[in-house]
Amino acid sequence: MSNLEHIRNFCIIAHIDHGKSTLADRLIELTGTVSKREMQEQILDSMELEREKGITIKLAPTRLIYDYNGEEYILNLIDTPGHVDFTYEVSRSLAACEGAILLVDASQGVEAQTLANTYLALDNNLETIPVINKIDLPSARVPEVKKEIEEVIGLDAENCPCISAKDGTNVEDVLKAIIEKIPAPKGDINGKLKCLIFDSHYDNFKGAICLIRVFDGQVKKGDKILMMQTKKVFEVTEVGIFVPNTKETEVLSAGDVGYLAGSIKTIQDVKVGDTITSAEEPTEEALAGYKEVQPVVFCGIFPVDGARYGELKDALDKLKLNDASLQFSAENSTALGYGFRCGFLGLLHLEIITERLEREFNLDIITTAPSVSYHVYKTSGDMLEISNPSNLPPQVEIERIEEPMVKVNVFTPPEYVGAIMDLCQDKRGVYKNMTYLDKRRVELNYDLPLGEIIYDFFDSLKSRTHGYASFDYEQKGYAPADLVRVDILLNGEKCDALSMIVHKDKAYNRGRELAERLKKIIPRQLFEVPIQACIGNKIIARETISALRKDVLAKCYGGDITRKRKLLEKQKEGKKRMRKIGSVEIPSEAFMSILKLNDEE
Amino acid sequence: MKNNEISIYIHIPFCERKCDYCAFVSFCVNEKEEDKYIDYLTKEMENFKTSKVVKTIYIGGGTPSILSIENLKKIFYTLKSNFKIKKDAEITIEVNPNSLSEEKLFEYKNLGINRISIGVQSLNNDTLKKIGRLHNKDEAIKSIKLASKYFDNISADLIIGLENEKDVYKYAETLIELGVKHISAYMLEIHENTPIFEKFNSQKYLPLNEEEVANEYEKLVEYLEKKNFHQYEVSNFALSGYESRHNLNYWNFGEYIGFGISAHSYINGKRVANANTLKEYFNGVKFQDENNSKTEIEERIFLGLRCILGVDLKVLDKLGYKMQNNENYQMFVKKGILFEKGDRVYLNKKYYLVSDFVISHLL
């Protein structure tokens, strides 16, 4: 249907907050894809949370039609998330494109994710066009940023478009650059069908929807298709494009970006990264897929009201439909009852899921402190993957524990180098390298345990550098570490949901801080309640919550009994949000308090 | 409890000066307002028809002792002409030491009042001044002596938790020597929109902390027990036979009618409250409170457990709540916090001070 020469497939990559979604909005507006009336800000961020947080979470493709020198071009834009948790989504969309717009903030310059995303683009052999954004800012320093792009990234920036996506200045230059510099897709329309599934989502009416890039051949309604990895065969019920809402078309051909539905009942049948080919005339060779994403951060999620376990399960099932990276399995805690151990791509992902559970599904939930997945080598020779601290086997059975490591890149103005080094040291980091990129930018490389990153690394980095440093990380295997489990006993009874795995050198401090914090959070009970932190049988810290002395409103005056009853009812409602360990009542927020421990205190 | 008996509460919302801690409905006196109020009050009483026999009457406030004898007589005239009052009915009036006189006491006696409740609060002059009371220690003592001339059944109020008040039991000692038969000891509650709340917030008034209040309370309870003043409710102590029958009626789920602004009634299974402003009250505004088997269960539990009456488990069962199946209940019984006797369950007096905690776990 379309002439390959007149198609460009591209994505926009950038460090978070450098204006990706705003540029996407302008491009959509400029090409008249969406009428002014329908235009709302950040049009591709359809989730309420995405708009609110100003971040992109899901991939959102859209087709732009642009008239250039009297010829009509189809520009397929795939918006990508900017946060490090969603790097895998970026790499997916890159594989569907021939080129990328690398957007750089004119005042911030090159940041950690600018670099990380550029590497991803280079890995995928994409033509990368630097674009400098936010030139309307008083603090814009276009010449310096051009220099940074050339020196740090190694891209020619001399004639790159300098724009303001906000007010629309020079945005046309971007469209021109896309057409002039990004190569047209290569592919054989008459060849055997070969499509890459770069994302999927679930539609209540149409079933699982595949977001695809066609590399060879054509696909249309009625075709029998084969998923090369899962070996499943489906009949296509609909193909179409995004404008940016879905629009059915007759056919999708080599070079096109669009969607495909095939009454696919479950999203599990659609593996992102899989190749779709024709069931009748299959291609021999599948496209290079992606490695499956593995969750790295785990936590327990429990309903505050135990009776709502079923609702929580339904909600997670629904979220999973559109988020293959979310993992969960049933878990039972003595403290929190029935719930789920959930795996996430990172803390932001965790935060987004828990927030969606609360907002979109109206659930009150308790989340336990996040943990990473440890490799526990037992003396018996077995290896266990442990993401729930309470599942750690007894010390005597453990030969060694390995923890996940990450390679961390920090970009910072030079004045904060000392503070960052202290922080990394504190987080058990191993120094690797330091490069002065220019007068105002230093790149620091450290290897750090992921467990320390998810703890409070990001907040500490932000506060120690006043927000001027940016960081990015990638996984780097496992390394042995001297780790122990710290348990909390309340009135002599272990509270499994408060156990944590920590480095031996930090166990004492963390145990003491947690006991102190719990003393502040747990209300007094009828009896004295000892709080003990221990490693195995060894007590490392102890606090005591003294017994409640007085809890009575003295006057039940003049027959006004309703007022008193209402007060007592309020008190009772408060109890509903409490969990019981033996006879000790614990407010739900106590379970998150491990997170708020601060080594620096 | 006989079903054909009822109690009456009459609210007199006037004071010479409102105390700094008071959050009840009361206003400064003004003769004209007083007369108008008594008119409405007596009309309200006249409009209420019942065949039930009145077993207790309680005139509270505010400060009922500032009422003119004439107005008080009007109230009693209406009471007597409109209700059947039992011969041995307990009839109480609340008085303040500074508005009491021999003449008034004489008239009270003549009207049939047989119980006097005196708002002593403290016997320390500095303390009394700080909370805006208009009497001092000597006047308090004088008023008790005076009342004793005419009345045997005298009660005195004390407040626990006032600034610097670390030996409240010593006041109880003085009161008992003076012949007081009943003591109510209320713990200070600081309510919003009171002068003391402001002072407390700006740290100009430093009441005892929770720990100190608990200590004072326990010392007082111990002392009163020694003096044979047995504790029959969280805040109430009396020599045997001098318990307030009016209050026991509230806690025992007996019926009562409240007349006057902000007064509450419980009659025919319904809880009704009069309006809190004079304007609304004069217009006859009343509010009916939520009332069903759930609220009745809750009310029975907290009213019964706060006092020596206890709760009838069979009655709860009939209302649809088998409290014995509550796991907290079982734990409390096991630990001796609650104890059962026949069909009833009682709160161990040692735990009166944390009764709200216990009760909220049973609802």
- Please state whether the peptide bond connecting residue B62 to the residue before it is cis, i.e. omega within 30 degrees of 0: yes
Q: Do A562 and B363 touch (CB under 8 A)?
A: no
Residue A598 has pLDDT above 70, yes or no: no
CA distance A200 to B183: 76
- Clarify whether residues A451 and A517 are in a common domain: no
CA distance B116 to B91: 9
Give ipTM to 2 decimals: 0.86
Closest C-alpha among A72, A101, A73 to residue A7: A73
Q: Does A283 map to a domain?
A: no
User: Parallel, antiparallel, or unpaired: how do β-strands A127-133 and A99-105 relate?
Assistant: parallel
User: CB contact, 8 Å: B84 with chain A?
Assistant: no
Secondary structure (3-state) at A367: strand
Q: Do A549 and B211 touch (CB under 8 A)?
A: yes
pLDDT at residue B17, as a whole number:
84
Q: Contact at 8 Å (CB) between B358 and B338?
A: yes
Secondary structure (3-state) at B4: coil
Sign of CA dihedral B211, B215, B216, B218: positive
Q: Does A288 map to a domain?
A: no
Q: Quick one: closest CA in A to B61, which residue?
A: A558
- Clarify whether residues A472 and A558 are in a common domain: no
Phi, psi of A328 (to 5 degrees): -155, 150
- Clarify whether residues A526 and A477 are in a common domain: no
Query: How far, rounded to the nearest angstrom, does the alpha carbon of residue A118 sit from its chain's CA centroid?
Result: 19
- Clarify whether residues A147 and A59 are in a common domain: yes
What's this model's pTM, rounded to 2 decimal places? Answer: 0.73
Tokens of B165: 């008040």
Instruction: Determine the residue among B267, B302, B327, B329 to mutate to test chain A binding: the one whose Cβ has the most chain A Cβ atoms within 10 Å.
Output: B302
**Side-chain-side CA neighbours of residue A252 (13 Å):** 34
- Clarify whether residues A242 and A119 are in a common domain: no
Query: How far, rounded to the nearest angstrom, does the alpha carbon of residue A328 sit from its chain's CA centroid?
Result: 16
Q: Helix (H) and strand (E) counts for chain A?
A: 13, 32
User: CB contact, 8 Å: B337 with chain A?
Assistant: yes
Q: Do A560 and B331 touch (CB under 8 A)?
A: no
The count of residues in chain B is 363
pLDDT digits (tens, 9 = 90+) for A462-519: 888 887 788 888 888 999 999 999 999 999 999 998 999 999 998 999 899 999 989 9
> Which domains does chain B possess?
5-251 (3.20.20.70), 309-360 (no CATH)
pLDDT digits (tens, 9 = 90+) for A85-136: 676 667 777 888 999 999 999 998 888 888 888 888 888 889 999 999 999 9
Distance from CA of A229 to the nearest CA of B (A): 55
Q: What is the CATH number of the domain that holds A415?
A: 3.30.70.240
Residues of B in contact with A549 (CB under 8 A): 210-211, 214, 353-354
- Clarify whether residues A418 and A316 are in a common domain: no
The torsion angle over the Cα atoms of residues B182, B185, B186 and B188, rounded to 10 degrees, is 150
Looking at the structure of chain A, the number of domains it has is 5
Residue A193 has pLDDT above 70, yes or no: yes
CA distance B179 to A198: 92
- Clarify whether residues A28 and A150 are in a common domain: yes
**Which of B186, B263, B353 is closest, CB to CB, to A550?**
B353
- Clarify whether residues A270 and A322 are in a common domain: no
DSSP B135: -
Residue A206 has pLDDT above 90, yes or no: no
- Clarify whether residues A309 and A385 are in a common domain: no
SS3 labels along A264-286:
CCCHHHCCCCCEEEECCCCCCCC
Q: What is the CATH number of the domain that holds A51?
A: 3.40.50.300
pLDDT digits (tens, 9 = 90+) for B211-227: 999 999 999 999 999 99
Interface of B with A in 135-154 (CB under 8 A): none
Q: Does A287 map to a domain?
A: no
- Clarify whether residues A152 and A50 are in a common domain: yes
Q: Do B235 and A562 touch (CB under 8 A)?
A: no
Lowest mean pLDDT among A289-298, A482-491, B58-67: A289-298
DSSP structure string for A34-84: S-TTT--SSTT--SHHHHHHT---S-EEEEEEEEETTEEEEEEEEE---SG
pLDDT digits (tens, 9 = 90+) for A31-43: 876 655 555 555 5
CA distance A20 to A134: 11
**Which of A551, A560, A583 is closest, CB to CB, to B356?**
A551
Q: Do B271 and A561 touch (CB under 8 A)?
A: yes
Domain that holds residue A202: 194-278
Contacts of A213 (CB under 8 A, 6+ apart): A9, A95, A96, A97, A195, A196, A198, A256, A257
- Clarify whether residues A388 and A456 are in a common domain: yes
DSSP A352: H
Q: Does A189 map to a domain?
A: no
Residue A58 has pLDDT above 90, yes or no: no
CA distance B160 to B231: 16
Contacts of B62 (CB under 8 A, 6+ apart): B11, B12, B13, B14, B15, B24, B25, B26, B94
Q: Quick one: closest CA in A to B265, which residue?
A: A559
- Clarify whether residues A140 and A64 are in a common domain: yes
Lowest mean pLDDT among A222-236, A466-480, B119-133: A466-480
